[in-house]
Amino acid sequence: MCRWFGAFSIDSVTGVPTAIPGSLFASGLNYQLVVDPSGKFLYASDDDPPGGILAFTIDSTGVLAPVSRSPFAIPGQTAANSEPFGIVDSGSFVYAALTAANQIAAFSIDSVTGALTPVPGSPFSAGDQPTTLTSTNNLLYAANWTNGSISGYSISPSSGALTAIPGSPFGSNITTLAADPSGKYLYVGTSLGTLDFDINSATGALTPGVVGISNDGSLWLTIVQLPTSAAQ
């Protein structure tokens, strides 16, 4: 966790990062951050009591500036400090795992300013101490710290509201998540290795894959999409 963001530009030929002028950028006490698919905004979970969401604009040079009224408060949380942790941005909505409140907060994004507005019904009930989140194809999944299960939700494309997926929660001993952009697979990290789940395209339900991917425990997962030429 930190109170500063480091920002870097990437050389498109060599891949070498260079610090952006003005980096480090001041922030609240944050654990995780995410960049909006538009590339215009950055959001981070803010653990300074009572907990909220930090929002920044990203200019053409990569410099960050706070969005007006940031950090955004989380109404309706059931703990004095909800301890926001995991955060994802679907492009239209931002979701944050409220670990201490056993809830998930949802916000709609103003596509012009980056400002956040709570989704009606937010925050939504979640599993026991949700920590990391991942989303794909109007589906949201949360890893629950207490029992290591995965809670799954469908996302209303119009409102951003969450509805529990039938059969949820799934699995056990899970610490972190990453969803394949195709919406077909969910990869999970456990203390015993990295595993995969098949995602039911109709319901969002999860089915364990045939084999594990590795036998090594993992703390964080990410998925990188390579250009077709590079993949070959």
16-72, pLDDT tens digit by residue?
Answer: 999 988 888 877 777 788 999 999 999 999 888 888 999 999 999 898 999 999 999
Widest Cα–Cα separation across the chain? 52
Q: Does residue 19 sit within a domain?
A: no
Domain count, the chain: 1
- Residue 218, pLDDT above cutoff 60: no
CA distance 65 to 40: 11
Q: Does residue 77 sit within a domain?
A: yes
Task: Return phi, psi of residue 230, to 5°.
Answer: -70, -40
Q: Does residue 73 sit within a domain?
A: yes
* Inter-residue contact 145 to 172 (CB < 8 Å): no
Q: Does residue 45 sit within a domain?
A: yes
CA distance 16 to 4: 21
Q: Give the per-residue pLDDT at 227.
A: 61
- Give all strands (DSSP E) within 50-92, no chain letters: 52-58, 64-66, 72-73, 84-89
Q: Give the per-residue pLDDT at 226.
A: 56
CA distance 196 to 186: 6
pTM: 0.88
Q: Does residue 208 sit within a domain?
A: yes
Q: Does residue 13 sit within a domain?
A: no
Q: Give the per-residue pLDDT at 219.
A: 59
* Inter-residue contact 219 to 176 (CB < 8 Å): yes
**Phi-psi label, residue 84: left if phi above 0, alpha if psi -120 to 50, beta otherwise:** beta
Q: Which domain holds residue 80?
A: 26-231
Task: Return phi, psi of residue 137, to 5°.
Answer: 50, 50
CA distance 90 to 198: 20
What CATH number does the domain containing 204 carry? 2.130.10.10
pLDDT in tens, 129-151: 999 999 998 999 999 988 889 99
Q: Does residue 14 sit within a domain?
A: no
* Inter-residue contact 222 to 181 (CB < 8 Å): no
Q: Give the per-residue pLDDT at 231.
A: 46
Average pLDDT estimate for 205-210: 84
Q: Does residue 51 sit within a domain?
A: yes
Q: Give the per-residue pLDDT at 221.
A: 66
